[in-house]
Structure 1
Amino acid sequence: MSRRLCLLIFTLFIINALAVDKNNFKTCEQASFCKRSRNVNYEKSPYEIVPNTLNINANYITADIVNKENGHLFVLKLEGIKGNTFHFEIDEKTPLKPRYRVVDALQKEPTYEAVKVSSSTSDITVTCGENKAVISTAPFKIDFYQKDVLSVTANSKAKMHFEHLRKKLEGEQHQQNNENEEKDNVVDNNQQIQDEPGTWEENFKGHHDTKPNGPTAVALDFTFHQSNVLFGIPEHADSFALKTTVGNGDPYRLYNLDVFEYELNSRMALYGSVPVIYGHGEKGTTGIFWQNAAETWIDIAGTSNEQNVMESIVNFVAGSRNQDAPSAHFISESGIMDVFVLLGPTPNEAFKQYTDLIGHGNLPQMFAIGYHQCRWNYNDEQDVMSVAHKFDEHDIPMDTMWLDIEYTDSKKYFTWDHQKFPHPVEMIKNLTDMGRHLTFIIDPHIKRDSGYFFHNDCTDRGYYIKTKEGKDYEGWCWPGSASYPDFFNPEIRKYYADQYLMENFHENSPETGIWNDMNEPSVFNGPEITMLKDNLHYGGWEHRDVHNLYGQMQLVGTFDGLIRRSQNQLRPFILTRAHFSGTQRYAAVWTGDNAAEWGHLEAAIPMCLSLSVAGISFCGSDVGGFFGNPEAELFSRWYQTSAFMPFFRSHAHIDTKRREPWLFPEETKLIIRDAIRKRYSFLPFWYTIFYEHERTGMPIMRPLLAQYPLDKNVFSIDTHFMLSDKLLIRPVMQKGASKVDVYFPSRNGDKQGDIWYDIDDYRKIDHVGSESVTVNAYKVPVFQRGGTIIPRKMRIRRSAILMHDDPITLVVALDAKKHAKGTLYIDDEKSYGYRQGKYLYLEFEFKDGVLSSRLIDESASYNTKTWLERVIIVGLDKVPTEATLRTSSNQSTKLEIVDASKTSFTIRKPGVSMMEPTWSITLN
């Protein structure tokens, strides 16, 4: 096809995509499996446990389930997992062929615990530790108890629906079956499905889905008995607290799709799908992980944030909560029911139970936590280096320059356009010499070009995803005609990973980062801008079975390639758009193609909060918006917000105006500079909480309910967030704002709260409730919680790696008891040496007028030049007259106290090395 036609198709695609046309994407009514399963309305569930089929093993039980409407048999397996978690599966007992079960999401096989079982004709009780699951036999449901509290019920709404595999009946056979039904006066709802539109084939906007296996949907409802709000199931551009969907439009949809300039306040599917949901109330938190990679819809009912005013008044007078507890109805197109029940009982415990299953995010290199500069596209080598030097000229820190698709030779990945980038290795080295890095894009679509080695290899070796006829699938993406490697095949994944090795991709570096985009996968001429569902993958699985996992399987290959590229030395940095459960083991995530609008700035917080509680903490949004040209105020406010979010990158569409900070008015540039420099001053704190995230699985960016689970006022707040349990951030996200309301939570649902200190002037806040905080162009309300110690570095350099040996400042914020604790993590900031004990992990404590330091992991060690430059103590009633440093060798030194004010004072130059095993500073 001609280059001109390719350009025309591309242009038409962009024009259509700039304003989201909902008609390009399915509704539940247009997805036949969703429509069927959503409309299930049994008075009594037809599913029952078959008598005398219970089998008891050390760690699990099994029993048969029968659908009384058609006699079809299923097998239930239920087991207990260490740490307040149950797991159950429901699959066909004798399917015509195996059904797909996800095998690539869990980090490892869970640790199962012994179960005790008692049974009667009406129920089966499975006890694991202090918890139990009570299985009602007729009709089938499972009640899960956290200790003796009923927390979650599966199938309490009788929405269970399992479409078994069957052969399609044709002609006389179909007629004979109908006559037998009439003769025997039997109604088989599953057989009636045979005649419903969309069961054996389906059309959408000119695309035909053959559905060779017929209807294969699975659906089940879950009730969260102790909850007021539900949250999770990213990715959606919607509020953090999920909204009621029953009787109120479409369910939330999980189906990885390429959606340009997505709509806000929407349940439409976006780039990623993480099927974990949590319910939270004052009595506890529970969660459900629905392990299924097929297209999935989730109906939400009974959430308290959807109550109207009259309902709220009635419940208040009656002293009750909603009559019906919140529920979630999961509907997937194929696969099995594979469910993990997380019993908390606190939010943080539930989050940890989930990440213990699917893995913790890895500690990134320090440069990845710094600021990233990107656009589609920097023009050439001179442009890249000019921008890098301009950051120095304007004294703005920056760690990474990014290249989008235009750096390649005609959109062929693992190549360079040598007209624009004649010396890529030299360019990369020049950035490295400045203390900076380069990240470039590698997408999964492969240009069908007979002069392209990657395409030729994939064609010759049969590495591409196949059509239902067994031919290489062809779709359209940035290169024009393209095909897609089948990353589910280990051989293909290794071939792809091998391309990152220096011996194969010479114009590369062991330190470059990689950006995997368009990996939903995006197919411009496909149904819903993605791949046909009846395409075939390794093992004979249809694309419909594995769609939401495709992008993650590319990440598995990318991660492997980058690990081997550096001989297992350097931690890879990868950014991905598509994601699923477990993506955090490989990559950071950003929120996709947003727009330069205030609403998109606001949406970044609930979107990243939802990802964080779903295990993916390394999250951010395109600063300034990908589409459009941000006004100066919006641009600076976005920088101020993103400076306190885990992933910090500015990015823009090819058709936008250039927007490097110095291209804005001088005042705007200075505000942006201030925000970025503030980010860099907190790098020791960021690095420490990233390490603790890997160690514990706890989210880095947290909703307020994680720290304050008893304060009902925070359950639906998504304009505020916390970093770890130490900083409270309330960004300014409204045009022209001179004040913003900040809510300071209560600990026990009463008027007792924490003490907070404004990080800019150490002003003290010691009350619960909302406070109107005055802001100016530079001001973002950020507060350090009393009782915490935060490490910072105040010598800001051009990049993070150049700050490696710089000294530490400790900010000690005291609670009401004049006590505080904090941690600091130090290593080489780039290698895996820390996993061999080459690190320092320190705990600081201020108590009874003494600040002390100790090694948390005494067996670990790291030779650092970092030392303690100053200590800022906030919240002490009286400034001490002197301070004395004592080291582990019992040497003592008098220290100078300076900058004393009503709110704080500084201990100047203690000078103690961070390698010192123990030291203390005593105030007199």
Structure 2
Amino acid sequence: MLVSGSLSSWTACLGLLSALSATFAPAVAVKEHDWKKCHQSGFCARNRAFADHALTATSWESPYNILADAGSFKDGQYQGVILKTINDAGETVRLPITISFLKSGTARVTVDEEKRQKGEIELRHDSKARKERYNEAEKWVIVGGLALDKNAKVAHQDKNQLTVKFGPFSTFEAVINFSPFSIDFKRDGETHIKLNDQGLLNIEHWRPKVDKPAEPEKEDDGNDTPDEEGKEEQTEKKEEPKKEDESTWWEESFGGNTDTKPRGPESVALDISFIGYEHVFGIPSHAGPMALKQTRGGEGNYEEPYRMYNADVFEYILDSPMTLYGSIPFMQAHRKESSVGVFWLNAAETWVDITKGKDSKNPKALGVESKTSTRTHWMSESGLLDVFVFLGPTPGDLLSKYTELTGTTAMPQEFAIAYHQCRWNYISEDDVKEVDAKMDKFKMPYDVIWLDIEFSDDKKYFAWDKHSFPTPLEMGKHLASRGRKLVTINDPHIKNVADYPVVQELKDKDLGVHNKDGKLFEGWCWPGSSHWIDGFNPAAREWWVSLFKYDKWKGSMENTFLWNDMNEPSVFNGPETTMPKDNLHFGNWEHRDVHNLYGLTFHSATFEALKSRKPGELRRPFVLTRAFFSGSQRAAAMWTGDNQADWGHLASSIPMVLNQGISGFPFAGADVGGFFGNPDKDLLTRWYQAGAFSPFFRAHAHIDSRRREPYLHGEPYTTIISAALRLRYSLLPAWYTAFRHAHLNGAPILKPMFYTHWSEEAGLTIDDQFFLGTTGLLVKPVTQKDQTTQTIWIPDDEAYYDYFTYERIPTVKGKNVTVDAPLEKIPVLMRGSHIFPRRDIPRRSSALMKWDDYTLVVATSAKADEPADGDLYVDDGDSYDYQQGQYIHRRFTFDPAEGTLTSADFEGRNVASIKEGEWLKKMHQVGVDKVIIVGAPASWAGKTTAKVQSEGREWEVKVEFTPAEKGKAAFAVVRKLGVKIGADWKVVF
């Protein structure tokens, strides 16, 4: 109870109560005015105004020029100095620039500001913040790929420019123009990306704070409109540089909070043009189409730039560029048969404007083809200008080079890609056991049950509620006996209460985030008064790791895993529901510098904690995170946050998940059923069907929503949902194989049309259908109410078969085909020339499938002599033994000309030379139970046997042939092959 305090304290308290009430209230649409628009973000408004002036003034010239005589090129790297002219007197600021040409063919452009001298530093008003630009994002994000291309050569140099040839076979060029500064990136002689083409480079340089006298108010002469002389004067002034807006240099306010800026204005901005590219993608997370919209107004466009500033957005709206929970500043441009991209390495608040226009000024000129280019304007509040340029040419090239820098997705445990059951909250151990039992009763497989914040003792993480969860170890053992896991939530806020050892340790060791005065920051979140772990502090991360050891976190065990929520960070009484920007982190870096990295530091520490819970136990962790940044894929899965139980959010979840995949973070999903609200039975059923084809597959619901476990809805819904779950489980081998490819080379798990068919321009903007991994399965979930058919765009001339009926779908390349999609059916087509693995024995969890035999499905090509191929990757699904070669990766090939189906090691390894561990030895008992060949040749009619050759032996197996009829393709089934899944073998038909 408050008994004293200032009026402002009372006001703050009332504001907090209001925020908490809103948080617990029934779902309502997000209040957009709770989050900034560009004009309310000082640096965004300044840079947009800068752009407006630069693009409209006829005599504009960028004030940034490279000192031609000061630069040098050596061993694949150019180092020089940009001079920024800052006033009419010709005063300049020196900005060191480094352009690095990497072995991968990627180019990197970094611009800093010369370090300030001691005397200059003292001109700042008193602050504990660092007096330099934040330069440590690389430490958290980049894990490789920075080796320089020492074969890169200067191809031309004069007083105006420098041209460097680099990349594979020197097919890439960078033309560095000195005055004004710009860079033209070319591939095979054609320009693809330009930096500062429009002259919007703007680096707000360091300056001292000078208190200026207030300007006298101008007298109003009563004239509402200027006279002719005044009009002429105004016109002339438009050509002059606008006076800088200093109103938000040193502080700015929003929503009752004031952000002090001890370093003053220090934003970085740059225009990046994609020449000849009409469509750009990436920069998640936003709830909109995968192809990014223009942001400067106009019909169908946004008025606001895309914002990247990780935030706890309460029940987000659709089709909006407003910020969400995570940020990946990686943008790609795609056109027919060409892909390029950029990665903007900056962890501060960032806005991106997008505009499009024709390149040719005279499109009717003879022989001139007018192409559309996309021009983007990137604006970050602080830090370095640090941008990587990728010149493709394929979508796969972009992902492999980007993930060479930031890392690929971690290889998950197998249970993690199965089905997860969650709500806020399962209220007791009995509740958990009842849900577990009923899933079995209704024959619904699942692997993981989740506990939200109510599992803890009054929101004190690491302490179980003694009344609802008195024996957590017994609960965990019960789940383990059935092959299942438990996930509990752990957030970065630590309850500030006297009887809580965890917060006392945090205080004693000074491991929390500090406020601007250097004292421990206190804010409000679910526990009430809280402190926040400073994940940038090595000692704090080490301490966090120690808290998860079994002997310290009593009640946890080997099948307990973690969910990191609220790690944007969410602060209920903070500006925009997050942490004040002038808070201080380890090293005295301001929160504004590192905001988008905070979640990564936290979930990465949790990942390390799960790897070291017990000496000698090295098992793959599972961590779910809400906040993320580039590099988060190395340690976590993500979900799209607090969505709603409506058809629009179901539809939007597909492009959102696809966009995560092409942005290097494919382990993504949306809450099945919608977090807020109560889905009707049709919607819930369709969402389970869509979720069955999402990399992360979890049902979740708000505390105020009605119970909606999948067995509660009666027939026909229970049976239909159960079928969707079983379909997911049968295809787990294909999903796991897709994760292996993602882990190896950054490939998306769900592949949009432009990724698989990059020569088909019509598929560029399609974002509601996708291929699963290397399976050839083309999926388009139903996302509209009362829809009983589905239209699917066909990208090629291959054969397509209905997954469930083997019907040969009559298709035409580049056209839509309509397929039946009643409530009980998911539109899934099998593309010819592919082979994919399944496991067909129904089980209640993935752990119980571990030693089951496999089924291989072959979809034959439309071309009679075209082979079909596919692969299967399998390891123990738990440990890191696969890093020592303890895995099976097979390539399957069906050759219709030879009439053979073969299995060989995917990598060409000599499998016999691998020293087998316990798991590989046990896999000798696992074989191929069945082969189904869809589109089997008509000449096989009457064929009853085939020969199998493996490990020096040969034997016959039965072949069941079913001829084509009523639209269904002919198919053949071979049962009980008798071959080991890890052995070489051949079937001769």
Counterpart CA distance in 2 for 1:319 and 1:759 is 48
Deviates more, 1:636-645 or 1:51-60: 51-60
User: In the alignment, does 2:142 pair up with 1:106?
Assistant: yes
Name which of 25, 31, 52 aligns with 1:21.
Answer: 31
The letter of the residue matching 2:903 is S
Aligned to 2:801: 757
Structure 2 match to 1:827: 875
The answer (yes or no) to whether the contact 2:568–2:599 under 8 Å persists in 1 is: yes
Residue 71 (structure 1) aligns with: 92
Which range moved further: 51-60 or 446-455?
A: 51-60
CA–CA distance in structure 2, aligned partners of residues 596 and 159 of structure 1: 42
The reply on whether 1:858 has 2:910 as its aligned counterpart is yes
State the match for 1:159 in structure 2: 200
CA displacement, residues 327-356 of structure 1 (integer Å, 9 cap, x when unaligned):
211100000111110111011111211111
Partner of 1:178: none
Cα shift readout 1:471-530 (whole Å, capped 9, x = no counterpart): 111111100111101110011011011111112112101231100000000011111110
When residues 659 and 219 of structure 1 are mapped into structure 2, their CA distance, relative to the original with a 3 A threshold, is same
Q: Shift in Å at residue 111 of structure 1?
A: 2.4
The structure 1 residue matched to 2:61, chosen from 44, 52, 57, is 44
The 1-side partners of 2:455 and 2:316 are apart by 26
Residue 138 of structure 1: aligned partner: 179
1:130-279 paired onto structure 2 within 5 Å? 130-171=171-212, 192-193=243-244, 196-247=246-297, 248-279=302-333
1:60 — aligned with what?
A: 77
Which residue pairs with 1:749 in the alignment?
Answer: none
Matches within 5 A, 1:586-597: 586-597=635-646
Contact 1:818/1:875, CA 8 A, preserved across alignment: no
Change (3 A) 1:112 1:885: farther
Q: 147-156 or 599-608: which moved more?
A: 147-156
**Secondary structure at the residue paired with 1:599?**
helix
TM-superposed CA distance for 1:315, in Å, is 7.8
1:226, 1:285 within 8 Å by CA — same for their partners in 2?
Answer: no
Q: Indicate how the Cα distance of structure 1 residues 896 and 608 shifts in structure 2: closer, same or farther if over 3 A, else same.
A: same
Q: Which moved more, 1:579-588 or 1:115-124?
A: 115-124
Letter in 2 for 1:64: V
**Residue 696 to residue 300, structure 1, CA distance change in 2 (3 Å):** same
SS of structure 2 residue aligned to 1:39: helix
Amino acid at match of 2:265: P
Residue in structure 1 matching 2:665, options 616, 628, 641: 616
Shift of residue 10 of structure 1?
2.5
Aligned to 1:518: 566
1:426 aligns with 2:474: yes
Pair 1:343-2:391 in alignment: yes
Deviation at 1:234, TM superposition (A): 0.1
RMSD: 2.4
The Cα shift of 1:55 comes to 1.2
1:708 paired residue number: 757
Q: Within 2, Cα distance between the matches of 1:858 and 1:594?
A: 49
Identity %: 41
User: d(CA) in 1 for partners of 2:357 and 2:601?
Assistant: 35
Secondary structure of 2:457's counterpart equals: coil
Report if the CA contact (8 A) 1:883-1:922 is conserved: no
> What do the CA deviations read for 1:833-880 (whole angstroms, capped 9, x no partner)?
111111111111111210001123335552203210110011233152
With 143-152 and 645-654 compared, the bigger mean Cα shift is at 143-152
Q: Indicate the residue corresponding to 2:125 in structure 1.
A: none
137 and 688 in structure 1: CA distance in 2 versus 1, 3 angstrom threshold: same
Going from structure 1 to structure 2, the CA distance change for 1:484 and 1:191 (only over 3 Å counts) comes to farther
- Displacement of 1:201 after TM fit? 0.6
Distance 2:879 2:71 in 1: 51
2:734 is paired with a residue whose SS is: helix
Q: Select which of 952, 974, 980 maps to 1:890.
A: 952
Count, aligned residues: 897
Partner of 1:481: 529
- Contact 1:239–1:265 (8 Å) recurs in 2: yes
Structure 1 residues 372-393: Cα deviation after superposition (integer angstroms, max 9, x where no partner): 0000000100000100010000
TM-score, normalization by structure 1? 0.94
- Identify if the C-alpha distance between structure 1 residues 463 and 189 changes in structure 2 by more than 3 Å, giving closer, same or farther: farther
With over 3 angstroms needed to count, the CA separation of the structure-2 counterparts of 1:273 and 1:541, relative to structure 1, is: same
Instruction: Give yes or no for contact 2:633–2:666 (8 Å, CA) kept in 1.
Output: yes
Q: Distance in 2 between matches of 1:674 and 1:236?
A: 31
Instruction: Name the counterpart of 1:871.
Output: 931
1:882 deviates by 4.0
| Aligned residue runs from structure 1 range 370-449, under 5 A | 370-449=418-497
Deviation at 1:291, TM superposition (A): 0.3
SS of alignment partner, residue 36 of structure 1: helix
Question: Matched residues in 2 for 1:775 and 1:522: separation?
Answer: 41
Tell me which residue corresponds to 1:911. Answer: 978
Range with greater deviation from structure 2 (872-881 or 551-560): 872-881
Distance, in Å, in 2 between the alignment partners of 1:303 and 1:755 is: 38
- Conserved 8 A contact 2:840-2:855: yes
Alignment check: 8 A CA contact 1:257 1:271 kept:
yes
Q: Is the 8 A contact 1:227 1:282 kept in 2?
A: no
User: What 5-or-longer segments of structure 2 have no aligned partner?
Assistant: 3-12, 55-59, 122-130, 217-236
Measure, in 1, the Cα distance between the counterparts of 2:350 and 2:945.
Answer: 61
What SS does the aligned partner of 2:648 have? helix
2:126 corresponds to: none
Greater mean alpha carbon deviation, residues 847-856 or residues 484-493: 847-856
- Given that 2:948 and 2:956 are in contact with CA atoms closer than 8 Å, whether structure 1 keeps it comes out as no
* 2:153 is equivalent to residue 116 of structure 1: yes
Q: What does residue 451 of structure 1 align with?
A: 499
Paired residue secondary structure (2:830): strand
Report the TM-score, using the length of structure 2 for normalisation.
0.88
Flag the 1:568–1:72 CA change in 2: closer, same or farther, 3 A.
farther
1:455 is displaced (CA, Å) by: 0.8
In structure 2, the partner of 1:730 is: 780
How far is 1:283 from its partner? 4.3
Aligned position for 2:6: none
Indicate yes or no: 2:464 matched with 1:464: no
- Map 1:718-797; keep pairs closer than 5 Å: 718-725=767-774, 726-746=776-796, 753-765=797-809, 766-768=811-813, 769-797=815-843
SS of equivalent to 1:427:
helix
Give the direction of change, closer, same or farther, for the CA distance of 1:239–1:62 in structure 2 (3 Å limit). Answer: same
Residues in 2 aligned to 1:513 and 1:316: alpha-carbon distance in whole angstroms: 63
Question: Aligned partner of 2:99: which letter?
Answer: L
| Partner SS state of residue 658, structure 1 | coil
Deviations 1:751-797 (A, max 9, x none): xx322222111222352110111111111111122111100011020
Gaps of 5+ in 1: 176-185, 747-752
- Residues 430-485 of structure 1: CA distance to partner in whole angstroms, max 9, x if unpaired? 00001110001000111001111111111111111111111111111100111101
Q: CA deviation at 1:568?
A: 4.8
**For residues 157-211 of structure 1, what are the alpha-carbon distances to aligned partners after superposition, in whole Å with 9 as ceiling and x for unaligned?**
1111100122111248999xxxxxxxxxx99999954x52111110001101111
Q: Secondary structure at the match of 2:200?
A: coil
With over 3 angstroms needed to count, the CA separation of the structure-2 counterparts of 1:38 and 1:541, relative to structure 1, is same
Q: For the Cα contact (< 8 Å) 1:296–1:333, is it kept in 2?
A: yes
Q: Per the alignment, in what secondary structure is the counterpart of residue 764 of structure 1?
A: coil
Corresponding position of 1:83: 104
The answer to which of 98-107 and 521-530 deviates more is: 98-107
Change (3 A) 1:331 1:891: same
* Structure ID, larger Rg: 2
For 1:89, give the aligned amino acid.
T
Output the CA distance in 2 between the equivalents of 1:33 and 1:640. Answer: 44
Deviations 1:71-125 (A, max 9, x none): 1111110111122211110111334532112120112352221121231111111
Rounded Cα–Cα distance in structure 1 between residues aligned with 2:629 and 2:195: 23
Give the equivalent residue in structure 2 for 1:809. 855
Residue 728 of structure 1, CA deviation: 1.1
Check 1:7–1:802 CA distance in 2 against 1; reply closer, same or farther (3 A cut).
farther
> Which amino acid in 1 is paired with 2:757?
Y
Cα 1:303/1:693, change in 2 over 3 Å? farther
